[in-house]
Amino acid sequence: MALNSTAYVILGLLDGSQRTGYEIKQIVDRSTRFFWTASYGQIYPELGRLEAAGLVEGTERSQGERKRKEYRLTPAGRQELQAWLRLAPEVLETRDEALLKLFFAGSLPDAAPKALEHKRRLHAEKLARLREIEPAVAEHATPYQYATLRFGIALSEFCVRWCEEALEELPGDGEPSNRTKRRTA
Amino acid sequence: MALNSTAYVILGLLDGSQRTGYEIKQIVDRSTRFFWTASYGQIYPELGRLEAAGLVEGTERSQGERKRKEYRLTPAGRQELQAWLRLAPEVLETRDEALLKLFFAGSLPDAAPKALEHKRRLHAEKLARLREIEPAVAEHATPYQYATLRFGIALSEFCVRWCEEALEELPGDGEPSNRTKRRTA
DNA sequence: GACTTCATGTAATAAGTTACATGATTCA
DNA sequence: TGAATCATGTAACTTATTACATGAAGTC
């Protein structure tokens, strides 16, 4: 059937519960966002395509004047989700701007500690957000969903620690004006 | 000037060396690829735009009939690179399909150990590629470039270990037919 | 002579973000 | 009554991938 990744996020979130596009977006933002994002501009058109393909089914649940369309998985949609789950995952990508700046830190004095400090801060912020949602996930989500969260937490902790250690090991650390290493190769 | 991220990868790689688009792609594939990718479809058009903006300068170095255009950084290009290095990094994104499958593992019996095994394998493969290039990087690259590589290695090791531990902690591990947890919430 | 690498580029497509437009309901 | 939240959707744009087309030079 060749669906895109957003489609599987939607199918997965609809398995067992009926949800609106808005609710799907809310859940993504509080859970999969940390390793897989989706925007309204993807979710709403994709819901339409999935409905046309018979993988989800939408029901109007408008209360009064307020429109609201709840989607649920069809048997075909569930099969599609399971078929995807059986395939070996391939995508494993990262975009880390702080690391890119560290990579090029030879082009500007003092860029390395700055990059490491910022990287540390970004991981610490992510860690804080993950810890915030932890109690709710531990109670309400599946053990697998909780496992992905614990992975995110452990990973962020590791990254924060690594940055701190790298900052300490940096030659000339502490003393701000001591910038030696330069490069022209 | 509002350049895109590919532009900075190019500027960074041209600082100190003249290179062709082809060489830039080769270097990206062996270094920044692990945290920041760029394809030919981005690199060649971007080199054209950067030249039009006066940030890089290309020189024909065709040997015989074989065309070859080497680019080098202009002073304006170097300033642009340094200005970018001074800004706080923001982008920190991950796309992890294995984690997404673990997240939805409640929708298919046995999906969780499979996802974890695949995730472990992907990290182990990445780790192997990073270790392969380590000696060359340790010798020829800047200490900052080497630092980013060591981060990649340490991170991959962490991920491999986490997957192994998670597999052990999984209820019903080892015995293949013992799949309990299901979910319909 | 065949294969690989060096080398440049474009076209088509896919994926993803952001901003906008609209409006009801709920809560303080 | 004013702000926040619920709710749907589209348009414009940016970003990125993939495949294609072309051909010289070097290697086995």
- Check whether residue A22 has its CB closer than 7 Å to nucleic acid strand D: yes
Question: Does residue B177 form part of some domain?
Answer: no
- Taking only the tens place, the pLDDT of each residue in B28-80 is 999 999 999 999 999 999 999 999 999 999 998 877 778 899 999 999 999 99
- Check whether residue A127 has its CB closer than 7 Å to nucleic acid strand D: no
Residue B153 has pLDDT above 90, yes or no: yes
pLDDT of residue B172: 62
Instruction: Select from B86, B105, B139 the last residue of a domain.
Output: B86
Structural domains counted in chain B: 2
Instruction: Select from A37, A64, A86 the last residue of a domain.
Output: A86
pLDDT of residue A128: 94
Question: Does residue B53 form part of some domain?
Answer: yes
Residue B179 has pLDDT above 60, yes or no: no
Question: Does residue A92 form part of some domain?
Answer: no
Q: Are residues B26 and B45 in the same domain?
A: yes
pLDDT of residue B176: 47
Q: Domain range for residue B25?
A: 5-86
Q: Average per-residue pLDDT in chain A?
A: 91
The radius of gyration computed from the CA coordinates of chain B, to the nearest angstrom, equals 22
Q: What CATH number corresponds to the domain at position A43?
A: 1.10.10.10
What is the rounded average pLDDT of the residues A44-58?
A: 96
d(CA B16, CA B11): 10
Question: Does residue A143 form part of some domain?
Answer: yes
Question: Does residue B68 form part of some domain?
Answer: yes
Which residue of B24, B93, B125, B129 to mutate against A (max A Cβ within 10 Å)? B93
The Å distance, CA of B87 to C1' of C20, is: 29
d(CA B43, CA B166): 40
Contact: A92, B122; criterion CB under 8 Å:
yes
pLDDT of residue B61: 83
Q: What is the nearest nucleotide to B44, using C1' and CA?
A: C9
Which one-letter DSSP state was computed for residue B79? Answer: H
Residue among A166, A135, A163 nearest A150 (CA): A135
Q: Are residues B28 and B82 in the same domain?
A: yes
- Taking only the tens place, the pLDDT of each residue in A62-121 is 777 788 999 999 999 999 999 999 999 999 999 999 999 999 999 999 999 999 999 999
Question: Does residue A183 form part of some domain?
Answer: no
Residue B184 has pLDDT above 80, yes or no: no
Cβ neighbours of A35 in B, within 8 Å: 94-96, 99-100
Q: Are residues A142 and A105 in the same domain?
A: yes
Higher pLDDT, B176 or B113: B113
pLDDT of residue A146: 96
Question: Does residue A46 form part of some domain?
Answer: yes
The Å distance, CA of B181 to C1' of C20, is: 45
Q: What is the nearest nucleotide to A37, using C1' and CA?
A: C16
